[in-house]
Structures are given as structure tokens and as C-alpha cells.
Structure 1
Amino acid sequence: MELNKRVERDTPPVRVAVLNDYEVVVRGIAVMLAPFADRVEVVELDSGLPVSQPVHVVLYDTYAAAAGDHREIDRLARDPMVQHTVLYTWAITDKVIQIAATRHVSGVLSKSLGGAELVEALERIWAGQSVISPPEVDGKDTHEGDWPGKEHGLTPRQSEMIVLIVAGLNNNEIAQRCYLSLNSVKSYIRAAYRTMGVDSRSQAILWGVEHGFRASPRARLFPHGDDREAPPVPPDPH
């Protein structure tokens, strides 16, 4: 579907919760969306706990997680605080799209979208449309947000490989989780090793542990403070 058709309406901003286990990841998305505060309000950043206030859209970032995690998707679909669930991922495959279609997911959005494109897609989803980004070409590695190791020169995909290595996954498991070919996984890992200045898996694990490549503690982050009463969520504009 096209992503450049902006929804025009006189309504409040789309209320969005961003979900991922890595604090730097969710905060990076919030920073990317900040210039569009008149259209999208990031009301909650979540490092693992259920959504605590009503939102129009949950943006589920699949960094270091399987895009087709049935249990997490089903949990979000049952959450009375959530109107629409959206997968935010590089892994836009036929399998992921099929999972989304059968598990009440309102959109599958590519991490290569720019901030303006992402906002337009979120607006369309809140307006009742189902939005699926085109499949990505294997090897594309662009993202405007933040991720572990960005300041050290790692690309988003290289960073994800190291996170999963630190978590104990082998190359085949990483390929299955990230919907990549084994050769692509090996290529990303080799490039990451060069950037990190390591030449073995054990060294990469030590480097990753020292540089914060473990999931954040399961604690919620409130950008506006946890004592603010959440306003009621307006109904879908359709």
C-alpha cells in the first residue's frame, strides 16, 4: 500500500505507545517522532510491561524479538487499553504479513520509513486503514531512530546481531528470528566484528556486555511523569 497519503482530519494527535525491551530503542523512536508532536503524541515508552493507559496505537518494535511472536501479539490484541497494534520491523515477509492478518494486527511498518512516512502510516491506521509496507530488500539497513552501539559505528542490523549473540543465540537461530538468510547474518556479524575490533564470538559477547547490549530492566518509562492522569481516548474516526 502507498504510505504517502496523509489522512486529513480535525482531531487530536494519535496517542502512541512504543514497546521494546531496550530503553535506547524506544527512546530513539520517541526522538524520531518528536518533530511531529502536533500529529503524534508518544504517551508511553514501554520496556516490557503491559500498556497502562489508553492509546490509539501500540508500535511494537521487533528489535531483537521475533516479528511473528504470537504470544506478544495476542497479548496486545487482548489489551483493553489498545485500539490498534502495529508491528515495526525489517522482517516484512509473506509469513509475517499472514500472521498480522490472522492476529488482529492493524499494520506492519518498515523501520526504513522516515519520520514523516511513519507518522502518515500511524494516522492512516488510526483512521481504520490496514497499512503494510512493501517487503524490504535483504541487506537494506537504514533507520532514523536509535539502537545499542550506534555511537560506536554499528548499523541497526549489526547491532541486532550482537544483541542476539550476547543473548546466546547461534547464527541459525538469529537467521530464523530475524527472517534473514544465513549468509546475510554472517555478513552482518563480520562487519560488526570489524567495527567493534573483535575477532571471535567470545570477544563479541564481552564487548556487548560492557557496552550495554542486554535488555533493559522491566521498568516503565513515562516521558510526562507517572502522576499525570491519562485523558480518555477519542473513538476511531470512522
Structure 2
Amino acid sequence: MDQRERPLRLAIVDDYAVVIAGVASFLADERIDVVETGASLPVVSDVDIVLFDTFGQVTGNGIDLEDYIRNGGGAKVVIYSWNLEPSLIQQAMAGGAAGYLSKVLTGPVIVEALERIMKGETVIMTGDDETSVDGAGDWPGRSVGLSPREAEVLALIANGLSNQDIAERAFVSPNTIKSYIRSAYRKIGVESRTQAVLWAVDNGFVPNRSRNIDRDLRTRPPAPEQALAGVPKASAPQP
């Protein structure tokens, strides 16, 4: 098989199992082998790209990209986020990211972007200007009507961040964060921060630090020519 026809080998990094499952499902029909999924830990499998989903995470200067490619395999890190603040993108790219992709992009567009990155391009694709629209994938609280941004704000609240801390991470004003909080509280039926945290704990907003690896895909299969190289050649007939 031609190297270009090989499925792209991907690790998906995030601390929330439902988010990872949503991204993996979203990409399931594309030209991708999802080799490893799990929490924000160094990737141990032989992959081409580490897709860092920013749900509930620090972005920009807060991401130490080397943490995800310590195995020395040369994987590229691509940020996958709804937060498209230009200065945030700049920080991530300056920190070594090979690409920055919006969550409003479709599966085929994402795969095309990843393939371009594998060819050596630096790819930034922001998609729609409105980044709070419901995209593909999944997130905690979606079943009760929380938008991606409302869910992320609630996740950060559950992790003990103040409104000011969240606003600084999201590059929006504290008043905007308060608006997200009010709408999220209304949807989940709570009236206080304490009630919101308790609801979050009971509804999938506690980070999951586990890792899942496809044992059949963890090690890259040899290219056909490499496999043939290990086969002893037949001896020439003796005269």
C-alpha cells in the first residue's frame, strides 16, 4: 500500500471520556486510525498526530506540547478548540503546535487539514466566525441542552476556577462568563455555585485520568517493502 493511502494514525488527548468518545465517533468514518485516547498524559503509541481537545483545559501558554510527544516518535500536536482568539492561536503555534482547528469544521475538512499537516504545512482553520455553534462531537451536559461553551465554563467551575480565571482563559470578559453561567444554571436547574459543582460531579464533569490504547494498532505496521526486506531470499539453484 502506498504511504499516502495509509490511514493517518491519531491519538486524542482530553480529560473527559465523553468528549474523546464524541471526537472518535465523529472521525470514525474518515481515513483515520484512532490508536490511543485518554487523559492529558504523554502519548505512548506510535502515532502521526496528537489531537489535543481543549475542553476544560488551559490553552495557549498553558499547554506544554512536549508533554504529549515524549516518546520521541516525532508526532505533531494539533489543537482542536472552539476558542479562536487570535492571540491564543498565536501562543499555541509559538509553543510548537503544528495546527489549530476549529470544532465547527466537518470531518472531511479536519482530515484534509491533518493530511496537509503531515506533509509539512502549518494549518490554522477557524471555520465559522461564530464558534459557539453546536458542532459535531460530544461534551458533558449536552443531553440537558448545554452548549459547548456553557459546558466548558461549568467544567472549569467544577475544577475550582473563579469567574475571572475562566474569563482570562477564554479571552472574554467576566460579564460574558456570567452570562454563560446564568444560562447554564437555568438549564441544569441550580441557583448557586455549590449546587452547580454538585450537579457537575454527578453528571460527567469530573476529569477522567485513564488511557485507552488499541493494542492492535499501538505499533505502526511495517510498510510492505520493509516486510519483504525481512524475508530470506531463495537460494540460487546449484549447478
Q: Fold-level match, TM-score > 0.5?
A: yes
Task: Check whether the contact 1:164–1:174 (CA below 8 A) recurs between aligned residues.
Answer: yes
After superposition, the Cα gap between the structure-2 partners of 1:229 and 1:54, relative to the gap in structure 1 and judged at 3 Å, is closer
> 1:130 is aligned with what amino acid?
T
Deviation digits for residues 91-143 of structure 1 (CA, Å, limit 9, x no counterpart): 22232232233222110111111222211111111121111123864662322
Aligned ranges for residues 1-238 of structure 1 at < 5 Å? 10-36=4-30, 39-76=31-68, 78-134=70-126, 137=129, 140-216=132-208, 218-222=209-213, 224=214, 226=215, 230-232=219-221
Shift of 1:182: 1.9
Find the residue that maps to 2:197 and give its secondary structure. helix
Unmatched runs of 5 consecutive residues or more in structure 1: 1-8
Instruction: Say which is worse superposed, 47-56 or 68-77, in terms of deviation.
Output: 68-77
Q: 1:113 aligns to what SS in structure 2? A: coil
Q: CA deviation at 1:195?
A: 0.6
Question: If the length of structure 1 is used for normalisation, what is the TM-score?
Answer: 0.84
Distance 1:147 1:229, change over 3 A: closer
Q: Which runs of 5+ in 2 are unaligned?
A: 224-239
Q: In 2, are the aligned partners of 1:56 and 1:233 still within 8 Å (CA)?
A: no
Looking at structure 1, the residues matched to 81 and 71 of structure 2 have their Cα atoms a distance apart, in angstroms, of: 21
SS in structure 1 at match of 2:58: coil
Q: Bigger CA drift: 76-85 or 14-23? A: 76-85
| Inter-partner Cα distance in structure 2 for 1:15 and 1:233 | 13
CA offsets 1:12-69 (integer angstroms, 9 cap, x no match): 0111100011111111100000011xx1111110213211111111100111111114
Change (3 A) 1:97 1:80: same
Q: Aligned equivalents of 2:210 and 2:153: distance in 1?
A: 24
Aligned-partner SS, 1:34: coil
The range that moved more, 134-143 or 61-70, is 134-143
Distance change (3 Å), C-alpha of 1:233 and 1:26: farther
More displaced stretch, 46-55 vs 165-174: 46-55
Distance in 1 separating the partners of 2:74 and 2:128: 27
1:65-89 deviations in Å (ceiling 9; x for gaps)? 1111445323235541342110111
The two structures have a TM-score, normalised by structure 2, of: 0.84
- For residue 5 of structure 2, give the secondary structure of its aligned residue in structure 1: coil
